Chains A and B, each alone.
Chain A
Amino acid sequence: MQTCAFVNDKSDDAHCPLMNETLTVTQLNTRARSLLVSSPGLNDVWVLGEISNFKRYGSGHSYFTLKDSGSEIRCAMFRQALSRIDFEPADSMKVTAFGHIDIYVERGSYQFVVETMKRSGVGELYAAYEDLKRRLEAEGLFDPARKRRLPVYPRVIGVVTSETGAVIHDIITTTGRRFPADILLCPAQVQGEGAAESVAAGIAVLNRAGVDVIIVGRGGGSIEDLWAFNEEKVARAIAASAAPVISAVGHETDFTIADLVADFRAPTPTGAAEIALRDRKEVAKQIDSLSLMLDRALMSAVGTMRSRFGMLDSKLSPRRAGDLVRTLSQELGALRGRADAALMRKTDRMGRGFYVLDAKLVPRRARDAVMQHQMKVADLSDSMAQAVSRMSEGRRRDLGFLSERLEALDHRRVLGRGYSYVRDPGGRVLSSVSQLAPGSGVEIVMRDGTARAAVESARRYSDG
């Protein structure tokens, strides 16, 4: 094969008949290849760039692009070379790759064959991270005493994240099952140039919108991807936020600066949503239990009230009332027994009298006399029954009165019975005339409403 030294200054020197030679494509690519691979400046060089379009194939080889702001080059890194590096290359990583330029003759593709590579700038990133961490720590920004408590029942939750990522989707889904709160998303750029500014601005916008708590987050990625959350601008925005901040930066190992400044750190967006809002069922249970305590407290308050009724106490307690009913009905029974016995004695005596008369009187008159007595007995019996029933009615009234008083203590009937109470305009219940200044306004509360009234005068009982 002829060699053509057209890059050589001495290309005009004789044996390179440029104008006449015809090459096959293969010859061309082969010639170009041998020129490149033998060029010392393109062999065994270190190249600095950012990885993109990283793909690894079943063969174990990987292909990607290295780029900087001005240019890019396709790269190939074969399985063996890949197995010798201590990290998994990924898009947006900054690396320095060692290798040589080559041409893949079959395709005429120009590429850089990477023999090994190192992460680049990571040292600088870590140094910047450590430096910022040290400064903010000295300022007390990570101080646990600085951490604000989260509102238990926020009305609006602000979210700063990408509008298209899984983060906002997960937060919307999870919060739907929890205590009801509005969600306000402030879309932000979460990686790349300007991300820190975008996240910081989002936190400020949501604070101006008056949200109760803010979730700041993004999905996982390389240290470069997450870098915005290690920048001072974001840290300052979180520290300055009036609303408490929950960080949800998807990664498991290191904490970002944002995590350290935030009031709470959640491992995932779903976790952040769960920290921000209570479980709906738990809240419902709490209300139910308060409601139960309320009913018990009222019953016990009414019970206490009964025992405080002083004079009425002995008659009003349910057990005493029961005793009273038993005593009264025993009395009633005895009364009825005595009445029956009296009637029996009377008729008995009359009957005996009749036999005596019987001997002396003619049958018709005797019969009249008996009828007279029978009527008298019936009459007596009636009036006796009336007396008894009058008596028992009186007892019943007493009992009715007692049971009404018992019912009066049931709160729902108090006002229904014409009972009303007086309170001052502030809603305080008044229980003494000393609280009533003439001319002052009061409110009378009755079963079905309230009335405003003015005090004309107040007089205290001399024994009050």
Chain B
Amino acid sequence: MYRYIISRVLLVFPTLIGAAALVFLLMRLIPGDICLVRLGSGGTSFSAQALAACHAEIGIDRPWIVQFLEFLWGLARFDFGTSMWSGKPVVVEIATRFPVSLEVAILATVIAVALAIPLGTISALRQNSWIDLVVRTFSIAGLATPSFWLGIVSILIVLDVTQVISGHPWMPPIDYVPLWKDPLRNLSIVILPAATIGYRYAAVSMRMTRSAMLEVLREDYIRTARAKGLLRRVIINRHALKNAMLPVVTVIGIEFAFLIGGLVVTEQVFNLNGIGRLMVLSVQNQDYTLTQALVMLVVTIAVLSNLVVDLLYAWLDPRIALA
């Protein structure tokens, strides 16, 4: 068992190094560079010397291998350097944007769980009833709607509805304030984005809950419990739901990592100053250091949640570790 855990943890490193190599290479294969974007997008004339000076200033004129080793050495020391675009430490750039993204992600998870578990359970208990049909349609529709589209439409609906009701169109504030400073304002900013992400997330988890519940309800011990005449509520709460939770939690855990990807589009729609938008921006600006750091952050989150899921499974089913 310990051998398995150690080897599984060690396997994280080749993945991280591989991802580092991939992002490093991809960013440099994109034509153009940050100096060109910065000097040239205003349309003014700039000399070759100015371009070279800019390259030298941020160090992208050095051989790739030197830059790559420096990047890896920085990663090893948790030193991500400074953003090539703003000249500020990457850690600062990310830290100022992280709270809003995290908040949206957590709230989306809460919404997803709050919808998925009760609806998925009811759907399974009343399989093939009209409730089941409605819930399944609702969840398949969630998988079929582009989330940015849902975001755009929801803002417009809020604007139109408030205009009709009060004559003054209303929309959430456009500048983020932290939860502890002004909870109400904060929530009114993050609730719509969280709901649009949460819907898709709920759709996935709802399907998982339903099928896991169905599986469990068919197990012998549930039948036995029923035969013993236990109350329906007790059966559902104490036995069925509890056992169905593992796969559901797994899906929620894995999806949480993918959620960061979903933030990229949603933060654009809602103009949230989070890490998803920062990623789009840093890629557009061809800011190598910032993009590399962000990708490593996202990859690390994904890899770690995978690791946790794997270890959890090994702990529950020791045969996996022996294989």
A binds B: no
Interface residues of A (CB under 8 A from B): none
Residues of B within 8 A of A (CB): none
